[in-house]
Amino acid sequence: MHIFSIIIPHHEIPMLLQRCLDSIPDVPEVQVIVVDDNSSEQKVDFGQFPGLNRKYTLCIFDKEGGGAGHARNIGLRHADGKWLVFADSDDFFTKDAFHILNSHKDAPYDILLFKSNSVNSEDLSPSNRFADLNNAIDEALTGKKDNKAAILSRPGPVCKMFRRSHIQQKDIWFDETMASNDQMFVFKATCWAQDDAVAVFNETLYTVTTRKGSLIEKRFTNPDNFLCRMEVQIRCNKFLRDYPQFRKEPIIIWLSRSRRFGIKTFLRTLGLIISRGAFFSGFGTLMKIVKSHIIRKEL
């Protein structure tokens, strides 16, 4: 059995995948699982696919086109490491990442959270994409924020170590949705862990990138992507009813955001919110935001 299983979904960016793999040592302790999500042969040379020449990397070529969540679930089924670590194929690990991981391999926790660098993928110039995560970790380390709340401030699987037995015992899987496939995975893994089984660290494990054409950017340009994200957020808010200590996102804000796509998407958004009974979901959070804004204005 390996110590770490690193799961990487991939779709049509082989040069960036190679960069990601170059940041991971090819050693027996580290199982790397790359799941290609139905890439086109016009964009990927499968005979020279990144990872095929690595001894401890498993490359799986899935033709269903089920998206990143589907690819990650395939990876989970093949993982045998003590710890699960996730990466996106356009990101990469820091120079000290595997020294950091090894230093925590015997940790008594179920989830460990680390900091991230953020850069532009093309020229590696600084970005601030994960600034909120790093700020949340700083607040947790100084006692201003709960460790679980720090994890949920950026509910994606990267920058984290998950004990595989915890994920297996709780039967946690990724949503196989167009977007936000990872959000419920992290919410369940975090909320279903004991409070003392979650820890945060002031160590930088990962480098997240910003890139034109990435899935995260499509939330600003693709109305179907936008609606999928909102529907996942509605389910997350519903899940958090049993965990009132954590912040729910006001769903009504999504109605305002939908205006950028035009009247048709605005009406689709309104209809979805009403049909899900989510019009007032997260309303308490909205009131706290408004109250805080009023107090700051008065000061």
Residues 212 and 290 in one domain: no
Query: Tell me: the pLDDT tens digits for 200-211?
Result: 999 999 999 998
Best CA proximity match to 114, nearest among 19, 215, 208: 208
Residues 210 and 248 in one domain: no
Residues 212 and 230 in one domain: no
Evaluate if residue 294 carries a pLDDT over 60: no
C-beta of residue 76 within 8 angstroms of C-beta of residue 7: yes
Average model confidence (pLDDT) across the chain: 93
119-123, 215-219, 267-271: the lowest-pLDDT one: 215-219
The number of folded domains in the chain is: 2
- Quote the domain boundaries for residue 228: 222-298
Residues 227 and 207 in one domain: no
Residues 64 and 198 in one domain: yes
C-beta of residue 69 within 8 angstroms of C-beta of residue 43: no
Per-residue confidence band for 295, with pLDDT thresholds at 50, 70 and 90: very low
Evaluate if residue 114 carries a pLDDT over 60: yes
- pLDDT confidence of residue 268: 96
Residues 195 and 99 in one domain: yes
Taking the mean position of all CA atoms in its chain, how far away is CA 61?
Answer: 22
The last residue of a domain, from among 182, 216, 250: 216
Residues 204 and 285 in one domain: no
Give the mean model confidence (pLDDT) for residues 45-58. Answer: 97
**Which pTM does this prediction carry?**
0.92
Percent of the chain with pLDDT over 90: 87
Residues 44 and 166 in one domain: yes
- pLDDT confidence of residue 212: 78
Query: Tell me: the pLDDT tens digits for 270-290?
Result: 999 999 999 999 877 655 555
